[in-house]
Structure 1
């Protein structure tokens, strides 16, 4: 059956409103780590502020007319103890920060991937796969960087400003003039800088997604690129996007370079030096206090310089969070139904006046039929008549524009998607295998507890066991991406074995034996016939022998039902069906007559 998707931590239902709420829904799962990080950071900064004061006390003790060496030694030992405790606080804070930053990235990435697994095909028709990959990887990583070191730097910046300013007030409230004026101007300038930085950070993430999409599409179709000699054209498109990405990052750097606080802190330091010197001359401030004051003012230089970098990472992460949340909130028609109908499928299928189109032009028009459980249905019609599209409505790859598709009397839109698709096996002409072992590809989507013996039996039924055993490592042989190391017929037989192993209640065969020889095809059809006993089977095939054996035949022409019934009824009662198969019947009759004369 269909494999369980990974747990979606914080994104299982509708996400919290806004980027801030969504981010908090993830970060808040690590409250203990956050508390440890803040405690360690506060301890670090309190002791960092206390150490200059202690140094000032030690200097005053040493500069007295009769130096108090006992006091001086005690202060030095206290300073050493504070350095050790500060180091422990820094370790705890850093470790806790990395724990919740990496955990947030992991949960956001897993939640986004889980949401992608629940999306319908119409969603993927609108979204380049490369861009989605960039969101799962790069945008999720931006969240980590936003917290570590981004948020950490922001916390450090606040504490590195708050603690020195409070400490300065404890020394002498008169000394607050320069630091308070600096902090007020600094906050205003920083807010204005953030408003300029936010849109360009979003542009960088957006262009990065387009760049990833171009790489993915080119490499996925590399055979076509090489065969058509389009490498130069692909390179030009990639070069253009790379140039756009460079331009976006340069614009971001331009905004970041217009950062004024380093100039402001120098002006504040000059004012502090002048003010402190005046107070020392007046005798209201000791030399030690003056040195401690300048040390505390100098401590403001660090957060001022780091603020530009930290705010850049924060807005970079917010841009990534917006792109992730955009995907999670993009509800397409085929999305999974929370709490939908889940039951064992019997296999009765009904189409009621179904109309569907990929755009403004309908592909299917007013399709109606009913198939009892366990029946075999063949779909017949010229290329482009809508056969494959009709079957894609069956497992809710798409939803009809009007009308209803019912399985066991329940609209497919009301079914739990995992329950419905877990009991529906689709074998298409274009088989998709994964970069893993043959055994893993056979077992993909199978029920838990499937054994190697089960895999081998399914492979035998699909006539794949013999060629598998001829590969270097048998069932453990690795296949390339999309199974490129196997022939088309081998890929189809593995896909058939995978479907048989899933033990579906509804089996869909879309020209699934087009790449095998006649003898192997006959063997596979015998295996499929045995496996489909008691199961509802839909098949698209040009083989008249398979069509004639179907319980019900539906003839499609330009998206409309041109006729339906059994072979004997349609060969005389449906002009299109007769036109398609009359040449085969005439050839078969002639060959039989020739054989009789011989």
Structure 2
């Protein structure tokens, strides 16, 4: 997909057409499909002319066997051409939608974290699934009839002008009347369709929030609350569906009414012209047959028009995703190894208008352990996010040696970093899948055994019947918290990162699990530059440097002994932690 296209500047129709162009449909297939549609419709034009000849000079002697054979052959060819046209247009439609979903998926995967801070996951899912389904329905179910219908209408009008131009002009009155109806109601349908897709996205978002956390719902007796949320979404979608039905109930009958009036007028006016001798009976029959070839496609075009309004509404929502800037993983210099000091200079950061970090200055020395402690909400995790380049500082710079880290490719920077969170999320799949996640090479069982032993995970893994091929369930629900943490540590060990980031990796564990996880972390930290966020003092007391962060500011820096002597809040923090640890030991 070409970058930098501003879809919103194109307008609804051009936006839809441009988006279809971006999916790069096969031009050859489209041309062949159109040719088949032309052949199908062209053969259909011969039937009224053949009927006219029969009516004007009907007798058994007038029947020409060759003409009948040719007519049968024409019908067979028409059926074959029609089938090919429908298949090819459906093939194009499915290909367009597949490419559109591919574009969206590629875009979504590479969107920066701040996009996901702003938009709910359910809304994004709705754009990929529901909105593209609307476009798919338009192309695969209605486009074929639309193209054939347009050809039929244009061809029939041209032939009718030759048959009797006066009657044709009477018939053409229907076109401006129909356009007035479609224009007036089309904008209404467009707005309703946008509202329908937005409500569908909200409902999808509710499902996406509730179903993964169904245990929390049941534990909180929140079934009725969540039912009401879902019921509200279902009701709103139903209301928009009724509005859509009302517009369709107006469009189709009104177009049919206009066409029937024109048909009656043509029959009446044609009867007068036949009686006066200006037209033959055969001409009149042919005219009516051609008129039918116009009326039926007009009805199909009416349905296509309403679906097109829905598709344009969906297109507008799809383009809100496609217009977002993405992370380019490969722009910049490739980083081979991190063997220099990381320096944070005068860094500020704000979410929207809320300032989180202010004038942060510190260094992370190569091969040393740097800990960040302090009250919750002080900005510790945000600092991690800046170091991982999920966000860019509002002001200031982060350097590796003398080089700003933004000058390195994202891919090479992140490949040198390992991250273990407070609650490490696992993907649905096996233990092997989770440990090897993101590794683009085959990993042997021997290598898995090595890293899981270092992570103190091998013992419990070996007890499972399927060992490394054991299913962990959605988000690792089949494993305990301590087991999930050790799987995450094994994953980090397999990546062999040069910088290790531990975000309160033991704070949610019981004492027994913490002992195993802490041993695993000790193995993981050996020889690596490590940055630790922790509430428990025992995990950071031996750090080479401790940074105390309050309300986005560093208020103290030094070793545990130095801070205990000079920093009042750290001393209070440490004293509380020591009391907690003593209580835990006495309980054991």
Common fold: TM-score over 0.5: yes
Superposed CA offset, 1:400-433 (max 9, x none): 2222223454444454333332322211012211
- Paired position in structure 2 for 1:440: 433
1:356 positional shift: 2.2
- Paired position in structure 2 for 1:3: none
- Normalising by structure 2, we get a TM-score of 0.90
Counterpart of 2:195 (choices 196, 203, 206) is 203
| Distance in 1 separating the partners of 2:42 and 2:546 | 81
CA contact 2:536–2:577 (8 Å) conserved in 1: no
1:284 positional shift: 3.8
- Paired position in structure 2 for 1:549: 542
1:590 positional shift: 13
- Paired position in structure 1 for 2:257: 263
Q: Does 1:273 align with 2:271?
A: no
Q: Secondary structure at the match of 1:425?
A: strand
Q: Secondary structure at the match of 2:450?
A: helix
Q: Following superposition of structure 1 onto structure 2, how do residues 28-427 of structure 1 map, counting pairs within 5 Å? A: 28-60=24-56, 63-64=58-59, 67-69=61-63, 71=64, 73-259=65-251, 260-331=254-325, 335-336=327-328, 339-346=331-338, 348-427=341-420
1:120 positional shift: 2.5
Q: Does 1:499 align with 2:492?
A: yes
| Distance in 1 separating the partners of 2:87 and 2:282 | 36
Counterpart of 1:565 (choices 554, 558, 562) is 558
CA contact 1:447–1:502 (8 Å) conserved in 2: no
Q: Secondary structure at the match of 1:436?
A: coil
| Distance in 2 separating the partners of 1:131 and 1:495 | 29
- Normalising by structure 1, we get a TM-score of 0.89
CA contact 2:372–2:547 (8 Å) conserved in 1: yes
Superposed CA offset, 1:457-494 (max 9, x none): 32222122222232342222222211111111111111
CA contact 2:378–2:551 (8 Å) conserved in 1: yes
Superposed CA offset, 1:219-254 (max 9, x none): 233333222222222222222222221111211222
- Which runs of 5 or more residues in structure 2 are unaligned? none
Q: Does 1:475 align with 2:468?
A: yes
User: Cα distance 1:591–1:473, how it changes in 2: closer, same or farther (>3 A)?
Assistant: closer
User: Cα distance 1:382–1:187, how it changes in 2: closer, same or farther (>3 A)?
Assistant: closer
User: Cα distance 1:310–1:588, how it changes in 2: closer, same or farther (>3 A)?
Assistant: closer
User: Cα distance 1:76–1:56, how it changes in 2: closer, same or farther (>3 A)?
Assistant: farther
User: Cα distance 1:527–1:258, how it changes in 2: closer, same or farther (>3 A)?
Assistant: same
CA contact 1:492–1:515 (8 Å) conserved in 2: no
1:534 positional shift: 4.1
| Distance in 1 separating the partners of 2:75 and 2:376 | 79
- Which runs of 5 or more residues in structure 1 are unaligned? 1-9, 593-598
CA RMSD across the alignment: 2.9
1:165 positional shift: 1.2
Q: Secondary structure at the match of 1:357?
A: strand
Which deviates more from structure 2 when the two are superposed, residues 517-526 or residues 210-219?
Answer: 517-526
Q: Secondary structure at the match of 1:363?
A: strand
1:509 positional shift: 0.9
- Paired position in structure 2 for 1:6: none
1:133 positional shift: 1.0
Q: Secondary structure at the match of 1:479?
A: coil
Q: Does 1:465 align with 2:478?
A: no
Superposed CA offset, 1:576-596 (max 9, x none): 33322246669999999xxxx
- Paired position in structure 1 for 2:21: 25
Q: Secondary structure at the match of 1:555?
A: strand
| Distance in 2 separating the partners of 1:204 and 1:542 | 47
CA contact 1:202–1:316 (8 Å) conserved in 2: yes
Superposed CA offset, 1:494-538 (max 9, x none): 111112222222211112234556566455445444444443211
| Distance in 2 separating the partners of 1:589 and 1:180 | 93
User: Cα distance 1:228–1:525, how it changes in 2: closer, same or farther (>3 A)?
Assistant: closer
User: Cα distance 1:378–1:172, how it changes in 2: closer, same or farther (>3 A)?
Assistant: same
Superposed CA offset, 1:119-168 (max 9, x none): 22222122111111111110111111121223333323312311211222
Which deviates more from structure 2 when the two are superposed, residues 339-348 or residues 212-221?
Answer: 339-348
User: Cα distance 1:459–1:591, how it changes in 2: closer, same or farther (>3 A)?
Assistant: closer
| Distance in 2 separating the partners of 1:584 and 1:46 | 87
CA contact 1:119–1:335 (8 Å) conserved in 2: yes
Which deviates more from structure 2 when the two are superposed, residues 512-521 or residues 545-554?
Answer: 512-521
CA contact 2:23–2:99 (8 Å) conserved in 1: no
> Number of aligned pairs?
578
